[in-house]
Amino acid sequence: MKTALITGITGQDGSFLAEFLLSKGYEVHGTIRRSSVDFRERIAHFEGTPNFHLHYADLGDSMSIIQVLNKVRPTEIYNLAAQSHVQVSFDSPEFTADVDATGVLRILEGVRQCGLAQTCRIYQASTSELYGKVEEVPQNENTPFHPYSPYAVAKLYGYWIVKEYREAYNMYCCSGILFNHESERRGETFVTRKITLAAARIAQDKQDKLFLGNMDSLRDWGYAKDYVECMWLILQQEKPEDFVIATGVQHSVREFTELAFRYAGIELEFKGKGMDEKGYDKATGRCLVEVSEDFYRPTDVVNLWGDPSKARTKLGWNPNTTSFEELVKIMVEHDMAKVAVERESERVRTNLAAYLEKGIVK
């Protein structure tokens, strides 16, 4: 039985990857961080699964990493843990560098010091943010990097240190340069999930308006469930290599917003330019989307578009299993149901409070 260690198992990708590896018969170990609140919603369904184990470790703490490596002695490591929010990296640049850059080094060196260098394969969660202020479109494995945020600069160190350990110590370690991938499990402050949740709430009268930043920004959005398969495929190749993972299709934040609202039953019409642009409900004329300076970044990556040819040819991976339209639909349907459940439990709570007040329920 193969043994995988996933750092960042509580995140969007970690939870999908754990499901994928368990279905392949792996023993899956994941690292979690101590928190005063128990926020493990994405992995709660693994409770009691025989081949599933959790350990405390933090990418900022070498000792915790070495302890887990010695205990688990994995055959594959998927290093997904990171401070993954680009805008947050402008507010917490040092923390981001420690986890997203030095954290990668701690994993690689830990593997060496535990005597696992020749038996353990390592996947590093790299990112299309490396292309940043893009120098060509679409971007492939040979496109020059130009990182454009503290997050991207930290991830660039991660990319190069992986390459260095591969060349210096002959270790099997690779970077997957993944373009944006989303899902119904996406964190609620990333733009896609922020939009699908807002569309669902506005459609069900739980929110008045959605405030966004740069709506002209272009992304190559895929479905996270499809992308975790690639992480595994990358580690199954004979030789360690880096791969771009993307759909090869590009859309703007505005297009994502229009489609999400359409699936929630609202046709939007955009009027105005730049900071004055607004999205109106065509049926009622109500303004539902506005631009806010708060969501603009000091430097923003605005033209990501991946070329997945190498992954298609060498990994045999189909980049278009889930289309853009299907992805938006999956997310909106999920959030419409989530908001409906929240509304219903709120209604029950309100009714119960009213009954209690009138003395109907003792």
Q: Cite the active site residues.
A: 127, 129, 151
The residues that touch ligand G4F, with contacts defined as CB under 6 A, are 84, 86-87, 127-129, 179-180, 189-191, 194, 212-214, 217, 219, 253, 295, 297, 300-302, 304
Place of tokens 């593997």: 111
Residues 2-21 that bind ligand NAP (CB under 6 A): 7-8, 10-14
Interface residue with ligand NAP among 3, 62, 84, 192 (CB under 6 A) is 84
> In this chain, which stretch among 80-88, 228-236, 308-316, 346-354 interacts with ligand NAP, using CB under 6 A?
80-88
Task: Tell me if 67 sits within 8 A of 56, measured CB to CB.
Answer: no
Residue 125 binds which entry of ligand NAP, ligand G4F, none, CB below 5-8 Å type-dependent: ligand NAP
220 is an interface residue for ligand NAP by CB under 6 A? no
Q: How far apart are CA 285 and CA 215, in angstroms?
A: 20
CB of 303 to ligand NAP, least distance (A): 16
* Pick 83 or 87: Cβ nearer ligand NAP: 83
* Pick 86 or 108: Cβ nearer ligand G4F: 86
Sign of CA dihedral 232, 78, 11, 302: negative
Interface residue with ligand NAP among 4, 5, 28, 80 (CB under 6 A) is 80
**DSSP class per residue in 28-50:** EEEEE---SS---GGGGGGTT-T
Q: List, in sequence order, every residue forming a beta bridge with 54; answer none if it has no partner.
A: 30
242 is an interface residue for ligand NAP by CB under 6 A? no
Q: How far apart are CA 58 and CA 33, in angstroms?
A: 6
Q: How far apart are CA 287 and CA 326, in angstroms?
A: 26
| Contact partners, residue 254, CB within 8 Å, separation at least 6 | 215, 216, 270
60 is an interface residue for ligand NAP by CB under 6 A? yes
